[in-house]
Amino acid sequence: MAKEYAASISYPVTPANLVNFGEPVNFPLIFGLVLIVFGITTLMHVLVVRVARRRREAGLLRALGFVRRQIAYSVWWQTTSIALVGLVVGVPAGIAVGRAVWQEFARSLGVLPDSVVVTWVIVAVAAGTLVVANVLVAGPAVLAARSRPASLLRSE
């Protein structure tokens, strides 16, 4: 008689969209990619604004004898300097803040707060930053080099 009752009992079925809800997502990778996109966008904005605001200086340099290549190289060096300063300040600060945040998070979970810093990843990210900065500077450098000194020095 117990079997008759067991056959008539139905258990609730979990919907398929809720089954996948609890699976882990690679949040650090997604967060890193979002930061990369924001960093590239910010660097490109800085480059375009810097070239636009320094048009008169580029015109003055052209009037003093700079050729197009030298104007482009000056924009390139400015960009490389921005990227290097960002790396020199950002890498140690990122390691320190990341370590402190991880230690606090690990302590709240009750696990060993052992942080690992992978050197080759940091070097790869630094090299990638310099490469991306130098690729992004091509457009603004060409625009700065193509400008004519007479139009740049004309008073407003």
Cα dist from 55 to 43, 70, 88, whole Å: 18, 14, 29
Domain ranges (residues) in the chain: 67-150
pLDDT of residue 50: 87
- Indicate if the pLDDT at residue 3 is higher than 80: no
In the 8-state DSSP scheme, what is residue 154? S
Helical residues (DSSP H) of the chain, grouped into ranges: 2-8, 16-19, 27-53, 55-63, 68-109, 119-136, 138-146, 149-153
pLDDT digits (tens, 9 = 90+) for 128-139: 999 999 999 988
Q: How high does pLDDT run on average in the chain? A: 82
- Indicate if the pLDDT at residue 40 is higher than 70: yes
What is the rounded CA–CA span in Å between residue 137 and residue 147?
Answer: 16
pLDDT digits (tens, 9 = 90+) for 68-108: 899 889 989 988 998 999 999 999 999 999 899 888 888 88
pLDDT digits (tens, 9 = 90+) for 9-20: 777 766 555 555
> What residues contact residue 152 under an 8 Å CB cut-off, 6+ apart?
55, 56, 58, 59, 60, 62
Say if residues 71 and 144 touch (Cβ distance below 8 Å): yes
Look at 140 and 109; give whichever has higher pLDDT.
140
What is the rounded CA–CA span in Å between residue 115 and residue 102?
Answer: 7
